[in-house]
Amino acid sequence: MSPSNGTRRMAFETRLLLLCLAGGLPALVLVLFLLYGTDLDGALIALLVTLLTTSWLGFGFAARRHVVYHLQTLSNLMEALREGDYSLRGRRARFRDSLGEVVREVNQLAENLRIERLGAREASALLGKVIDVIDIAVFAFDAAGRVRLVNPAGERLLGRTAESLRGVPAGPLGLAGFLDGPDRQTVRHRFPIGHGQWEIRRARFREEGIAHELLVITDLSWALREEERRAWQRLIRVIGHELNNSLAPIRSMSTTLANLLARDPLPDDWREDASSALDVIGNRAEALGRFMAAYAMLARLPAPDKRQVALRPLIERAAALDDRRTVAIHGDGLTAEIDADQIEQLLINLLKNAHDAADQTDGTVEVRLGRDADAIVIDVLDTGPGIANPDNLFVPFFTTKPGGTGVGLVLCRQIAEGHGGSLSLENRTDATGCVARLRLPA
């Protein structure tokens, strides 16, 4: 306690000693009063008084020492905990003993802190190892924008060692613009390691109450190249498969025609055989032409020319193009900023698929127009047999329809995503059949 009115409070030990002495003082006074009221020899009385006074003072000081000793022990334990030394333990941690309970709790606290510190050190060591081995550059900057931490990937990115980077401002390193930019962005930038496409992520953290900035830079070029390579492999595999399907019968029929025309004299039915072979060649050439036209359609889809369009009339026009059955349309009064031609083509494809599915079960087709919190929703529903293999719905050139090209749904999804929306197909839960759900920004 601080001094008050020019006085200081007595120390705890002094107050404890005075309380112990005060507790025995009444008894001592009473004994002295009784002794002086007796006929004992004065020397004997003086001896008894000396013994009583010495015992009274001795027990008082002993009580003080006993209490202070244990308090000092607890103080030493707490000081060790404050200094981070969790190895010390107090003795006499007994049950059904108030002092023992305190010592036992302090010992348990020390053990818990030891376990937590060990776990924190292990987690910190693991985090440090992960940061060291990942191929992602990590930089930590203090409030003044100076580098405080950089991992080996960051050293490679800037072509400098961690020692030479520590304490350097972000500006000379070319990173200041990223610290002032959005929390997440994708940029094309040239670093000392080379030029490429990078994902920049920024976060904030505090250390000892001081704000710091964390900058994480990921090289996207390798991932993009790997994805591009896989895309080319898939495309070449699909095109190669389609070309083989068309060229193999063409080559076979050409060989048959060459052998037929080389015969002398020609057989009586040579005209029929030649016509059949030419029909096969023509059919396969036509199928190959359809395939290439479908591929060109996917590759050349233009950017949408958006205008504000009423959706109900657009749906009605698309539904009127297929007269196999009447399409029930629910919902009205919604408009969207879209490319009317592209969305109409999308709806035509979805409605055609719905009619094809409904033909198998003599079912129905309907369209529901509505909106939720952040999007306009157009559902095309049928009561057909449903989707048997949903995994391949949006695989280019995959089709189960005779004469199909396998690009209809892929084209629809490209149109939807080009408008900032999405397209999904799934089996209905309220009935048999399928629901194609188109979501457009509201």
What per-residue confidence (pLDDT) applies to 363? Answer: 92
Q: Which residues contact 382 (CB under 8 A, 6 or more apart)?
A: 353, 354, 355, 357, 358, 363, 364, 365, 433, 434
Q: Which residues contact 192 (CB under 8 A, 6 or more apart)?
A: 157, 158, 159, 160
Residue 371 · residue 442 · CB < 8 Å: yes
For 428, counting Cβ atoms within 10 Å of its Cβ (0-12 exposed, 13-18 middle, 19+ buried), the class is middle
d(C-alpha 130, C-alpha 134), whole Å: 6
State which H helix or E strand residue 415 sits in: helix 408-418
Q: How many helices (H) and strands (E) does the chain have?
A: 11, 12
CA angle in degrees (0–180, nearest 5) for 362-368-374: 145
Whole-model pTM over 0.75? no
Amino acid at 21: L
d(C-alpha 51, C-alpha 31), whole Å: 12
d(C-alpha 58, C-alpha 64), whole Å: 10
Q: Looking at residue 250, what DSSP letter applies?
A: H
Q: How does pLDDT run along the chain (442 residues), one tens digit per residue? A: 445 444 456 777 777 778 878 888 888 788 777 777 676 676 777 787 788 888 888 888 888 887 888 788 888 888 888 888 877 777 766 667 777 777 778 888 888 888 888 887 887 787 778 878 788 889 989 888 888 888 888 888 888 888 888 888 988 888 888 888 788 888 888 888 777 788 889 888 877 777 788 889 888 877 666 766 676 666 666 667 667 767 777 788 888 888 877 887 877 777 887 888 788 788 777 767 766 666 666 566 678 888 999 999 999 988 888 888 899 999 888 889 998 888 888 898 899 889 988 999 999 999 999 988 788 999 999 999 888 776 656 655 555 555 555 566 777 888 888 888 888 888 988 888 999 999 998 7
Break the chain into its structural domains and give their ranges: 12-82, 134-219, 224-299, 307-441
Residue of 18, 133, 103 whose CA lies nearest to 64: 18
Give the β-pairing of 422-427 and 365-371: unpaired
Structure tokens at 358: 């409904």
For the segment(s) 134-219, the CATH number from 3.75.10.20, 3.40.50.920, 3.30.450.20, 3.40.50.720 is 3.30.450.20
pLDDT, tens only, 344-381 = 888 988 998 899 889 999 999 999 999 887 889 999 99
For 358, counting Cβ atoms within 10 Å of its Cβ (0-12 exposed, 13-18 middle, 19+ buried), the class is buried
Q: Which residues contact 297 (CB under 8 A, 6 or more apart)?
A: 407, 411
CA angle in degrees (0–180, nearest 5) for 242-246-247: 110
Per this entry, what is the length of the chain? 442
Residue 406 · residue 293 · CB < 8 Å: no
For the segment(s) 307-441, the CATH number from 3.30.470.10, 3.40.50.2300, 3.30.565.10, 3.40.50.150 is 3.30.565.10
Domain covering 224-299 assigned CATH 1.10.287 in the classification:
yes
Amino acid at 432: T
Q: Is 96 left (phi over 0), alpha (psi -120 to 50) or beta?
A: left
Give the strand order in the sheet containing 147-150: 147-150, 137-141, 210-219, 194-207, 184-191
Structure tokens at 16: 């404890």
Amino acid at 134: I
Number of other CB atoms surrounding residue 154 within 10 Å: 24
Straight-line distance from the first to the last Cα atom of the chain, in angstroms, rounded to the nearest whole number? 68
Token look-up 């591929």 returns 295
d(C-alpha 436, C-alpha 427), whole Å: 9
Give the β-pairing of 375-382 and 434-441: antiparallel
Residue 428 · residue 435 · CB < 8 Å: yes
What per-residue confidence (pLDDT) applies to 196? Answer: 78
CA angle in degrees (0–180, nearest 5) for 382-383-388: 90
